[in-house]
Amino acid sequence: AAGVIQSPRHLIKEKRETATLKCYPIPRHDTVYWYQQGPGQDPQFLISFYEKMQSDKGSIPDRFSAQQFSDYHSELNMSSLELGDSALYFCASSFVGVGNEKLFFGSGTQLSVL
């Protein structure tokens, strides 16, 4: 079965550079979530999109932005990168129905800011 695809798997950037992470949800899923997981920490919710509109916003820095495109894939854009942005970034997708939502997570993008 198709899963959530994230690219790239690994990304190395310097401070103050920009980065773009991509997420391709499971086919027919209409909702995408972005999570950030720092070393030794639990996943923290950043932002979500439902039907290409921003749905919920968590602890996403103003330097970050995201969108969901017409084909439902999503991109997380990160500017003015800081050392503290080094983390695993997970994308998850789901199909919004009536209750009982399950999130399916991708393998993540490991971002290292040097």
Q: What is the DSSP letter of 89?
A: E
Contact 85, 15 (CB under 8 A): no
CB of 75 to another protein, least distance (A): 18
Q: Which residues bind another protein (CB under 8 A)?
A: 4, 31, 33, 35, 42-45, 48-50, 55-56, 58, 88, 90, 92, 94, 96-108, 110
Q: Which CB sits closer to another protein, 14 or 42?
A: 42
CB of 78 to another protein, least distance (A): 19
DSSP letter string, 15-63: TT--EEEEEEPPTT--EEEEEEE-TT---EEEEEEETTEEEEE-S--TT
Q: Which CB sits closer to another protein, 70 or 100?
A: 100
The pairing of beta strand 53-57 with beta strand 44-50: antiparallel
β-sheet bridge partners, residue 23:
6, 74
CB of 16 to another protein, least distance (A): 27
Q: Which CB sits closer to another protein, 5 or 65?
A: 5
Q: Which CB sits closer to another protein, 49 or 64?
A: 49
